[in-house]
Amino acid sequence: MVRVFIYIHFKSYRQGGDALEQNWIISNLEAAFDTWNLRLKELSELLLMSPEEFRGGSIWKIIKSVFDAMKGIGLSLMVLFFVIGILRSCTDFSELKRPERSIRLLLRFVLTKAILTYGMDLVLMTFRFFTGVGSKLMGNGLINDAMFATVPEKIKTAVEGLNIVESVPVWAVTLLGSIFITVISFVMILTVYGRFFRIYLYTAFSPIALSPLAGEGMERSSYGFIRSFMGVMLEGALLILSFIIYSRFISSPGAYEEGMELGLYVWKYLAETVFSMLVLLGSVKASDRLSREIFGG
């Protein structure tokens, strides 16, 4: 494999102006950065995308059918919880004769019925609200160009100035760094996809989770569900904020210091880039826990 690398390296230098394009070190970095930038662009679109639009809306149609099925069960449970709530809170049925007591129980029942009936619309309204928050954070709703990772010209010049012996370890390091960058990008996209699926699951089974609202003194589990659901919605805005912070990291790469060995500068740049990406990955993974803590979940 080393012989092949040396042959290609010699070939790239002999081809003059095309040397940088065919150099394996630069090719490794550019391929990894292309994957990273593609994932970032995909993430920015996903975070501002409605569940109705995700995957052409095919998943949302299934969720709606499941929601309609669960709504019938939820309405039945609502009546059951309403009766249980009356039995638990009223020691004497004569209390029901008091107008304020009867009206309060009736309002609870009607409100719960409305929430279960129009639950799908409430989910979409909540999602649009938090998507609007994310759009405000992102500015014009598009990912900032500063977030895109590129190979600096100084790196290209540094690699061009390396001899064959110096190029082999640098190529190995860039190959390892490229693997790290690719893995990090896919872990991030899986995290955002996981958020979408949590939204789907919360929506599909929300009628059952919200049915205890009808029972007085039995609503605690429903409040916990609402806090968790709001946390999932807020997570999108927190992810966008993480991207904004990351863009500040990536927009200021380490400067080349006079007298620094060119190979050492390549190592230093790659280490700083991977570190910034790991910081973003940590923020993305922590956004779920932070969003739940904000709502007391």
The Cα 21–Cα 172 span in angstroms is 18
Q: Mind listing the pLDDT tens digit of every residue in the chain (297 residues)?
A: 444 334 434 444 444 444 434 467 778 778 888 888 888 888 877 877 888 888 788 888 899 999 999 998 999 999 999 888 887 776 666 666 677 777 888 888 899 999 898 888 888 888 888 888 777 777 654 455 656 777 777 777 767 766 677 677 777 777 887 888 888 888 888 888 888 888 899 999 999 999 999 888 788 888 888 888 888 888 888 888 887 777 766 665 555 555 566 667 777 777 777 888 888 888 888 887 787 777 765
- Which pLDDT does position 281 carry in this prediction? 83
Burial of 135 (0-12, 13-18, 19+ CB in 10 A): middle
Closest CA to 273 of 178, 192, 154: 178
In angstroms, the Cα distances linking 110 to 14, 79, 95, 203, 214 are 80, 11, 20, 21, 8
Are the CB atoms for 239 and 192 separated by under 8 Å?
yes
The Cα 108–Cα 217 span in angstroms is 11
- Which pLDDT does position 170 carry in this prediction? 74
Which stretches of the chain are DSSP H helices?
2-14, 19-22, 24-47, 58-89, 99-117, 119-138, 153-160, 164-204, 206-210, 220-250, 262-294
How many Cα atoms occupy the beta-carbon half-sphere of 272 within 13 Å?
17
The Cα 270–Cα 205 span in angstroms is 45
pTM of the entire predicted model: 0.73
How does 61-80 read in b/e, with b if 16+ C-beta sit within 10 Å? Answer: eebeebbeebbeebbebbee
- Which pLDDT does position 208 carry in this prediction? 92
